[in-house]
Structure 1
């Protein structure tokens, strides 16, 4: 396919010669008219080529504009995503800060940097360790809720056993009724509170907090909310399914109580 832009030198020379012949006063009118008739077809072709060149240039300009627009849209989408992520992170940090300011305790903020990939344990790795005075057994919270406890410490990192792990057992109390029971992790399904009195008045929506018994967690930390209550397999006690206050699956920032 012949590309018009490659014929520009030929076209320019032809137009130059035609201009001299057609518009110069040294040639007679009759000669110019005859020449015009001869040049009619080539000039029409040239005119078409020029229009085509203009269209090609316009098309290329449009392509460039479209490319720039697409790049601008992509950049705006990235900025919007970054802004959204920053907003969400600020909200999480604000909750941590609010909790920190409301309690007269010392905290060490930390980031979750890894999770147990096997799925056999509900544990995470945080970016704080002995260097930051983190010790085994320290309580880990997020927002206003209980997240877990430190079970291993390195110099710069620590391993946290989350409350939803099967090996996580501790004592809790229903805030409204003051019924106590043993809370244990149930992995993906959350928590279960066992050994509640068969005649207890525990209901869906009740808040459950740590009781402070047995020295695992200090008293008064929010664990979660009751979502259902039913008798256990023996019929002697009631079990309460609890939705953790902390979204364990989306844990990113935490506070370690020192």
Structure 2
């Protein structure tokens, strides 16, 4: 027993001192206004330890408070980010609706200028095969559509209906190799046939070599052939080449309608026979 006490004497002495302090303080609880010499000595002796303990406790409390504040801040930031995401979604939706309204207004304005009844339709599919350029629209036979009817947009000619079902139709684009539309150069009245050349390009075929055609000229429908009304935009001349031989010149045209960004079209319900 003595060997055990001797081995851990430091711990025993410390415990004994603390026990003495507690007993002295407990015996003096009824007289807190007066502290005897022994109590004052103990307080002086252990005050650094108590102060260090208080600092540690204060530091722990500060760390805990900071942690709680950080958790609350992260939660608040998460809520703000969610609100921002919702607001951005609404803003994008409103902008998209505004752009759609502008496009539909242009179609409505165009509808008032063409001499035949027309029905608006939305593009719901696209066939991007190199040898065949078509798009699918969401209206068809139930809306009075027939094969061969012209399809236009606010910027100009899009193509013709080639397949008509009950509630959908396929449009052959004017940029397809098999498309051909009677046309005229707006400035000089030079005539020809606009055909698709692939890769979003057009050519003006059968333009006589002596005809006055220049880069920048606007090409429009001539009204001949009984399909497209007269004066609808087809495109702008981008290249004119006159060879040394032959009776025709080579004319390349950039389409007026940017097909890749097209979303709505107007189908003319009656073939034009002027």
Q: TM-score, normalised by structure 2?
A: 0.78
**Gaps (5+ residues) in structure 2?**
1-25, 270-274
5+ residue gaps, structure 1: 1-20
Q: Which residue of 2 aligns with 1:94?
A: 105
Which residue of structure 2 lines up, in the alignment, with residue 18 of structure 1? none
Runs of 4+ in 1 over 6 A off after TM superposition: none
| Aligned match for 1:69, one of 71, 80, 92 | 80
Q: CA RMSD in A?
A: 2.5
| Distance apart, 1:237 and its partner CA | 1.3
Aligned length: 237
Determine if contact 1:109/1:255 at 8 Å carries over to the other structure: yes
Cα offset, 1:75, TM superposition:
2.8
Cα offset, 1:159, TM superposition: 0.5
- Aligned residue for 1:228? 239
Moved more, 58-67 or 190-199: 58-67
State how far apart, in whole Å, the 1-side matches of 2:255 and 2:81 are.
43
Aligned to 1:192: 203
Counterpart Cα distance in 1 of 2:85 and 2:165? 42
Could you tell me how far apart the structure 2 residues matched to 1:45 and 1:164 are?
81
Q: How does 1:9-28 map to 2 (within 5 A)?
A: 27=32, 28=34
* 2:64 corresponds to 1:40: no
Match of 2:163, SS state, is strand
Q: Distance in 2 between matches of 1:25 and 1:69?
A: 57
1:121 offset after TM fit, Å? 1.2
Structure 1 length as normaliser, TM-score? 0.82
Which has more radius of gyration? 2
Q: How does 1:1-258 map to 2 (within 5 A)?
A: 27=32, 28-29=34-35, 31=39, 34=43, 38-231=49-242, 234-258=245-269
